[in-house]
């Protein structure tokens, strides 16, 4: 299973999603670390580490897919 991390620096938040979540765009555009964007990780441990290192204040898990 692939996990997706959405970093939104403009609102100072990072969100963890599962691959089949309705929130994950089908045609995503990767942006760089400083702007944020959608990033995929092969396992939950790596995704959680990325969330911690994102440099934002608010970390949350998606309320729709509950990873």
pLDDT for res 9:
86
Return per-residue pLDDT of the chain as tens, 67 residues: 899 999 988 889 999 999 888 888 877 666 666 678 889 999 999 999 999 998 899 999 999 998 7
Q: What are phi and psi of 39, to 5 degrees?
A: -135, 135
pLDDT for res 37:
87
Q: Where are the beta strands (DSSP E) in 1-67?
A: 3-8, 13-18, 36-41, 58-61
pLDDT for res 28:
63
- pTM of the predicted protein model: 0.84
């Amino acid at each position: 299973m692939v996990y997706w991390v959405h970093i939104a620096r403009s609102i100072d938040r990072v969100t963890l999603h599962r691959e089949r979540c309705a929130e994950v765009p089908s045609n995503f555009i990767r942006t760089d670390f400083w702007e944020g964007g959608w990033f995929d990780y092969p396992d939950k441990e790596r995704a959680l580490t990325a969330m911690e290192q994102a440099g934002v204040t608010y970390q949350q898990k998606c309320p729709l897919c509950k990873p």
